[in-house]
Amino acid sequence: MTSQTPPEPGAPGLGRGLFVAFEGGDGAGKSTQSGLLGAWLERQGYAVRHTREPGGTELGRQIRELLLHGEDGSVSPRAEALLFAADRAHHVASLVRPALEQGEVVLTDRYLDSSVAYQGAARALGHEEVRELSLWAVEGLVPDLTVLLDVPAELGRERRGEVHDRLEREADDFHDRVRRGFLDLAAREPGRYLVVDATRPAEEIAATVAARVGELLGALR
Ligand X SMILES: Nc1ncnc2c1ncn2[C@@H]1O[C@H](COP(=O)(O)OP(=O)(O)OP(=O)(O)O)[C@@H](O)[C@H]1O
Instruction: Point out which residues bind ligand X (CB under 6 A).
Output: 24, 26-32, 109, 159-160, 198, 200-202, 205
The amino acid that residue 219 corresponds to is A
To 5 degrees, how large is the angle CA 63–CA 95–CA 82? 35
Given a contact cutoff of 8 angstroms between Cβ atoms, the answer to whether 54 and 87 are in contact is yes
Judged by CB under 5 A, the number of residues near Mg ion is 2
From ligand X, Mg ion, none, which one binds at residue 205 (CB under 5 to 8 Å depending on kind)? ligand X
Is there a binding annotation on residue 21? no
Is there a binding annotation on residue 11? no
3-state helix, strand, coil in the chain (%, to 5): 55, 15, 35
Write down the least CB distance from residue 136 to ligand X, Å: 25
For residue 201, give every residue at least 6 positions away whose Cβ sits within 8 Å of its Cβ, in sequence order, or none.
Answer: none
From Mg ion, ligand X, none, which one binds at residue 29 (CB under 5 to 8 Å depending on kind)? ligand X
CA–CA distances in Å: residue 12 to residues 38, 41, 74, 91, 149: 15, 10, 48, 26, 27
Write down the least CB distance from residue 193 to ligand X, Å: 16
By CB under 5 A, residue 94 contacts Mg ion: no
Is there a binding annotation on residue 45? no
> According to CB under 5 A, which residues from 155 to 184 bind Mg ion?
none
Write down the least CB distance from residue 147 to ligand X, Å: 11
* Angstrom distance (rounded) from CA 184 to CA 208: 21
Is there a binding annotation on residue 25? yes
Is there a binding annotation on residue 55? no
> According to CB under 5 A, which residues from 10 to 39 bind Mg ion?
30-31
* Angstrom distance (rounded) from CA 20 to CA 16: 13
Task: Give the interface with Mg ion as residue ranges (CB under 5 A).
Answer: 30-31
Annotated binding site for ATP: 24-31
